Structures are given as structure tokens and as C-alpha cells.
Structure 1
């Protein structure tokens, strides 16, 4: 993209449909910033009426157990 300095990041998307549900990983989006990641997630994963949806930059996830 001409003139673009932003490098895209991968964001993991979590959501829940009811209060009693846990946040569940529903997919991921690629975006240059947090704001666009939220817009992309909301428009891509619109097949349900979500009670809550969050995006987390993949680089912010802290591994607890990793594959060998």
C-alpha cells in the first residue's frame, strides 16, 4: 500500500452469546491497528448476536504450555 507505514498484526477474536457462557475463541483477523481489528472482527463474525466480543493482539498472548 503506497504511503502506508502500518504493518498488519494478527488479532485473536473471542466472544460469548450469553452471560453464563465463557469467552470462546471464534477466529482471528489481520489489521494494522486495534481499532480496525475491532471493526473487522465485528463485521466478519456477525453470524450471531454476541453479548461480548474482544480482540487480543496475538503477540500479547502469554504461552503457558507450548508444543515441543
Structure 2
């Protein structure tokens, strides 16, 4: 593996009527590894929906 990998933000929810909540981050080289890591690290809750987003894809709508 080269470098430290990419940072992926992890969001999840327990019910479809709830909003997604940021639950943490994982650092992996690719999306497949990030998905596996997110599921294994943040499995303490009964999530029904979990997504990952590369940190580089997040844009500020309002800057300080």
C-alpha cells in the first residue's frame, strides 16, 4: 500500500424517516476497502442505511 490512503466520511441512520448522521471516518486506499472498514468499525448500532463519501467530494456551502 502506498501513502496513507483516502479519508472517507461515514454517515448512517437507524430509520428511513431519520436524517443521515455523521458517525465517523475511515482511511482506506479505495472505495471497496472503505465500505468494508465502515461496516466493521461502526457496526455497534442497528443501522439500516450507511453511506460513505470521499472527504475530497465535500464542498462548503457557507465559508466562515
TM-score by length of 1: 0.85
Which of 16, 20, 30 aligns to 2:17? It is 20
Structure 1 gap ranges (5+): none
Which of 52, 55, 62 aligns to 2:52? It is 55
Q: Could you report, residue by residue, the CA deviation over 1:28-64 in whole angstroms, capped at 9, with x for unpaired residues?
A: 0000000000000000001111110000000011111
Between the two proteins, the alignment pairs up a number of residues equal to 64
Contact 2:10 2:22 in 1 (8 A): yes
| Secondary structure at 2:22 match in 1 | strand
| Secondary structure at 1:43 match in 2 | helix
Structure 2 gap ranges (5+): none
Q: Which one has the largest radius of gyration? A: 1
TM-score by length of 2: 0.90
| Secondary structure at 1:40 match in 2 | helix
Query: In structure 2, what is the Cα distance between the partners aligned to 1:62 and 1:53?
Result: 20
